[in-house]
Structure 1
Amino acid sequence: MTEQKIKLKMIRMSEVQSQEIEWLWYPFIPYGKLTIIQGDPGDGKTTMVLNLAAKLSKGEALD
Structure 2
Amino acid sequence: MDLVKSGAADADTKIDGALRSGTTAKWSKYTMLCLHYCREDQSHVARTVPECRALVREYKI
Query: With structure 1 as the length reference, what TM-score do the two structures score?
Result: 0.31
With the length of structure 2 as denominator, give the TM-score of the two structures: 0.32
Question: Which protein is bigger by CA-based radius of gyration?
Answer: 1
Tell which has more relative contact order, 1 or 2 (C-alpha 8 A, sep 6+). 2
More helix, by proportion:
2
**Larger strand percent:** 1
